[in-house]
Amino acid sequence: MTGSTARRVMITGANRGIGLEMARQSAAMGDEVIACCRTPMEAAELMALARETDRVSILGLDVRIERDMKPIAAGFGRALDLLVCNAGVLSGRGGVQDPEQDSRAVEDTLMTNVAGVFFTARHFLPHLLAGGEQRGTAPGKLAIISSQMGSSTRAGSGAIMYRASKAAATNLARSLAVELASQNIAVGAYHPGWVQTEMGGQEAAVTPADSAAGLLQRFAALGMGSTGVFEDYTGAVIPF
Ligand SMILES: NC(=O)c1ccc[n+]([C@@H]2O[C@H](COP(=O)([O-])OP(=O)(O)OC[C@H]3O[C@@H](n4cnc5c(N)ncnc54)[C@H](OP(=O)(O)O)[C@@H]3O)[C@@H](O)[C@H]2O)c1
């Protein structure tokens, strides 16, 4: 991709919701998109997108399963300009006494929203670094889709383990921003807005298209001067 402004972008959880919309818009801007999802054979909308444009390819990736991710990442021979950790679950909308928040739901929440971000960042870090090394440009950037529900300053009730998992996802972004600064990798945490998806519900305030467009602009603005940022899809700063 040398000599062009197009980028190579990898997005997890790209088969529906905000991830699918980011994949669609990123490809429409000319980027090469590696759209990850855990069950490609069931990803009808994503498969249709990949048929429409050769700028989108699909990669099977369950962010919870590190033993599978490791060989997938090792066999992925391309440098990345942007890695978007978007995959997430909301397993239980209640509080401390919500019976839905059983150990299985809690495990899924923490493994997907926290460990999944960590595994993805860990195993695709070499591909972000390779961007700079192979092309003599800056390395790739890392964007973590968190949520303002993980903000301790804006603490609320409900979805208590989801809130905790997103607090941890934001914390991972901050720690990675510090750890990776010496390697010139910029890292940001993002709140996509309250978005009309399966997770957000149809009464949500923001369309997936507006959220994705805003997020892609924020990723473009991310640099070493702003690494460690926690902001929403409009660029408004979110308190930790
Ligand atoms: N919607 C909102 O209002 C809102 C607000 C704040 C933050 N967020 C965050 O934004 C991100 C996207 O959410 P969304 O609204 O687009 O939700 P969504 O429509 O429910 O989509 C979630 C995506 O994550 C994928 N996913 C879940 N577990 C996975 C795993 N183990 N491995 C790989 N992919 C997995 C899903 O794939 P499957 O189809 O295989 O399940 C799906 O593609 C999430 O991190 C969410 O927490 C959303």
Return the closest-CA partner of residue 125 out of 171, 164, 172. Answer: 172
Whether 113 and 189 have beta carbons less than 8 Å apart is answered as no
Structure tokens at 24: 């669609």
Nearest CA to ligand 1 atom 37: 13
Distance (Å, whole) CA 232 – CA 76: 31
Q: Give the pLDDT of residue 83.
A: 98
Structure tokens at 223: 């640099």
Q: Give the pLDDT of residue 2.
A: 40
> In b/e form, how buried is each residue of 197-211, taking b as 16+ CB within 10 angstroms?
bebbeeeeebebebb
Ligand 1 mean position to 135 CA, how many Å?
A: 32
Tens of pLDDT along the chain (240 residues)? 444 567 999 999 999 999 999 999 999 999 999 999 999 999 999 999 999 999 999 999 999 999 999 999 999 999 999 999 999 999 999 999 999 999 999 999 999 999 999 999 999 999 999 977 776 778 999 999 999 999 999 999 999 999 999 999 999 999 999 999 999 999 999 999 999 999 999 999 999 999 999 999 999 999 999 999 999 999 999 999
pTM score: 0.97
Nearest CA to ligand 1 atom 5: 194
Nearest CA to ligand 1 atom 14: 17
Distance (Å, whole) CA 199 – CA 51: 26
Distance (Å, whole) CA 139 – CA 189: 18
Which atom, in ligand 1's list, is nearest to the CA of 87?
Answer: 24
Structure tokens at 75: 């066999």
Backbone φ and ψ of 48, nearest 5°: -65, -40
Ligand 1 pocket residue status of 64, Cβ below 6 Å: yes
Nearest CA to ligand 1 atom 34: 13
Which domains, and CATH codes, for the chain?
A: 8-232 (3.40.50.720)
Distance (Å, whole) CA 150 – CA 64: 20
Q: Quick one: 225 exposed, middle or buried, by C-beta within 10 A (0-12, 13-18, 19+)?
A: exposed
Ligand 1 pocket residue status of 26, Cβ below 6 Å: no
Ligand 1 mean position to 134 CA, how many Å?
A: 32
Which atom, in ligand 1's list, is nearest to the CA of 194?
Answer: 3
Count Cβ atoms below 10 Å from residue 83 Cβ, excluding itself.
Answer: 26
Ligand 1 mean position to 3 CA, how many Å?
A: 34
Distance (Å, whole) CA 7 – CA 79: 10
**Residue 87 CB contacts under 8 Å (≥ 6 apart), including other chains:** 12, 13, 19, 36, 38, 63, 112, 116, 120
